[in-house]
Amino acid sequence: MKYAVIKLAGKQYTVKAGDIIETERLDLKPKDKFTIEDVLLTVSDTDTKIGTPKVKGAKVKATVLDNIRGEKIRVSKFKAKVRYRRVTGHRQSLSKVQIDDIAFGS
């Protein structure tokens, strides 16, 4: 089993080739290809490499599939005995990213 731990948009993800992940909105358009060089760990069938903090030479190639909005989250405030109630909502902007290839470092 081959996989890698990457750092993308401030969060860490465990990915393998062919995975589709949802991450914070990236400043890229759909169908744009990009390379992630923040690879923190790589695991192949026989070898495990842990970065300090990054694995040298390891890269992950990825493609942006779509820029979407997440589910709406309702946020409410309430104070007892004062008739104070507020309800607001939030929808996070997300990007769907497909992992194309993992290049293990030297």
| Predicted confidence (pLDDT) per residue in 61-104, tens digit | 999 999 999 999 999 999 999 999 999 999 999 999 999 999 98
Q: 66: domain range?
A: 3-103
Q: Is the pLDDT of residue 105 over 80?
A: no
Residue 1 has pLDDT above 90, yes or no: no
pTM: 0.85
Cα-only R_g, the chain: 19
Place of tokens 């109630």: 85
Distances (CA, A) of 8 to 1, 54, 55, 63, 80: 22, 13, 15, 13, 42
The predicted pLDDT at position 104 comes to 87
Give dist(CA 79, CA 82) in Å, integer: 6
Number of structural domains (the chain) is 1
